[in-house]
Amino acid sequence: MNTLKVGLAQISPIWLNKKATTEKVVDYIKQAGAQQCDLVVFGEAFIPGYPFWIELTDGARFDSAIQKELHAFYMSQAVSISHGDLADLCKACQSNNIACVVGTIENAKDRGGHSLYCTLVYIDKKGVIQSTHRKLMPTYEERLSWAQGDGHGLRVHSLEAFTLGALNCWENWMPLARTALYGMGEDLHVAIWPGSVRNTEDITRFIAKESRSYVISVSSILTRKDIRDHIPHHQLIVKNSETEFLANGGSCIAAPTGEWLIEPVAEKEILLVAELDHDQVKKERQNFDPSGHYSRPDVLQLTVNRTRQSVIRVIEDLK
């Protein structure tokens, strides 16, 4: 197959409710599958949601009881991949013959189980988790909630005629992170975001022009009404929200020429669907291929460390 049908799930999570948000993701996987999509993409940190409260509740105050309570609640709703929290997503992908990129907040058992990571997950059409990429560098107030990831998930995946790679939010501004994926043969770049047109309207087209690839940006929606009363200090968060939309979307697709296939869509919960033609990649690579004929590995090279980082190295005595 030379074409790929993709779905962009610009939707709101059931904010800070892992179970309900997972059920909503499964429903949209089924909806995208019913439209014969080969891939469906969800926003950054979607399960169980982005920590918007930090900038709204004096999140940098040291030893704050409010921040401790919110963080503990966030941890209770985080995803444990090793414990099978994404099993329903895997099952839905297999049943609907569709691949999925979804942002999660991961409680990583291989790092002690008490720190949170912004982890992008790729599930293939067979329902197998093929990679989990922990965000390399949380941005601004995110560092008050998320730990730094590593290079283990910097990988690409074959999907029909395409080679897919993906990054979280401002990782897409990191030239060497992009270069790592380009060097692995990426020609379909997926960028996931918490939800803002200002994030996606420039960089989506820029990456497409730089890489001569299709670029999919997917963001979430979140409004004041999504801040429900099961969340600690929900009234304080609502009170300090200056606008109705905390996340206003901005999902879009740029073609390998840098032109819009779908322009950024704002303030709307929607499943956007488009068809990508791999021939367009081949045409644009004729004059520029950043990791092929327009590269100079004899002068410039990048080293990527894909080791999963840990504070311990256990040597067992097997006697």
Residues whose CB falls within 8 Å of the CB of residue 288, separated by 6 or more in sequence, listed in order: 212, 294
Q: Is 195 left (phi over 0), alpha (psi -120 to 50) or beta?
A: left
- The pLDDT of residue 318 is 78
152-163 mean pLDDT: 98
**Right CATH for 3-285 from 3.40.50.2000, 1.10.3720.10, 3.60.110.10, 3.40.50.970:** 3.60.110.10
* Chain centroid offset of residue 137 CA: 14
In the set 5, 44, 142, 209, the catalytic residue is 44
pLDDT (average), residues 290-310 = 95
User: What does pLDDT average to over the chain?
Assistant: 96
Residues in the chain: 319
What was the pLDDT predicted at 285? 97
- Angle (deg, nearest 10), helices 87-96 and 18-34: 10
Active-site residue flag, 160: no
Answer yes or no: are the C-beta atoms of 78 and 105 closer than 8 Å. Answer: yes
What is the four-CA torsion angle of 102, 107, 108, 112, rounded to 10 degrees?
170
Q: How high is the pLDDT of residue 312?
A: 86
- Residue 29: CB partners within 8 Å, gap ≥ 6? 40, 89, 92, 93, 96, 98, 100
- Catalytic entry in 100, 169, 171, 186: 169
Q: Is there a catalytic annotation at residue 37?
A: no
Nearest of 169, 268, 271 to residue 221 by alpha carbon: 268
Q: Which of 5, 18, 135, 209 is catalytic?
A: 135
Residue 281 has pLDDT above 80, yes or no: yes
Tokens representing residue 24 in the block: 């909503």
How confident is the model over 243-252, as a mean pLDDT? 96
Question: What confidence score (pLDDT) does residue 99 get?
Answer: 98
Q: What is the pLDDT of residue 316?
A: 87
Using a pLDDT cut of 90, give the percent of the chain over it. Answer: 95
Task: For 15-38, give the DSSP string.
Answer: TT-HHHHHHHHHHHHHHHHHTT-S
Q: Which two tokens stand for residue 163?
A: 């080679």
Q: Which of 3-7, 161-165, 236-240, 312-316 bottoms out in mean pLDDT, i.e. has the lowest?
A: 312-316
How far, in Å, CA of 48 to CA of 18, rounded?
5
Using CA of residue 288, residue 290, residue 292, residue 296, what is the dihedral sign?
Answer: positive
pLDDT digits (tens, 9 = 90+) for 6-33: 999 999 999 999 999 999 999 999 999 9
Active site residue 44: yes
Mean pLDDT of 281-292: 96
Per the listing, tokens 């996606």 go with 200
* Pairing between β-strand 99-107 and β-strand 162-168 as defined by DSSP bridges: unpaired
Q: Does the pLDDT at position 1 exceed 90?
A: no
So what's the pLDDT on residue 242?
87
Q: At what angle do helices 197-211 and 175-183 cross, to 10 degrees?
A: 40
- For residue 246, which of 85, 52, 45 has the smallest C-alpha distance? 52
CA-wise closest residue to 44 among 164, 142, 144, 182: 142
Q: Encode pLDDT of 78-135 as tens digits.
A: 999 999 999 999 999 999 999 999 999 999 999 989 999 999 999 999 999 999 999 9
Contact assessment for residue 220 and residue 43, using Cβ atoms and an 8 Å cutoff: yes
* Distances 8 to 103, 111, 152, 265, 318 between C-alpha atoms, Å: 13, 32, 25, 11, 50
- Reported as a single tens digit per residue, the pLDDT across 189-226 is 999 999 999 999 999 999 999 999 999 999 999 999 99
Name the residue ranges covered by the structural domains of the chain: 3-285
Confidence at residue 319, expressed as pLDDT on a 0 to 100 scale: 74
199, 203, 204, 210 alpha-carbon torsion, rounded to 10°: -170
Q: 215 in helix, strand or coil?
A: strand
pLDDT reading at 66 higher than 90:
yes
Listing DSSP states for 32-100 in one string gives HHHTT-SEEE--TTTBT---THHHHTTTT-TT-HHHHHHHHHHHHT-B-TTTTTTHHHHHHHHHHT-EE
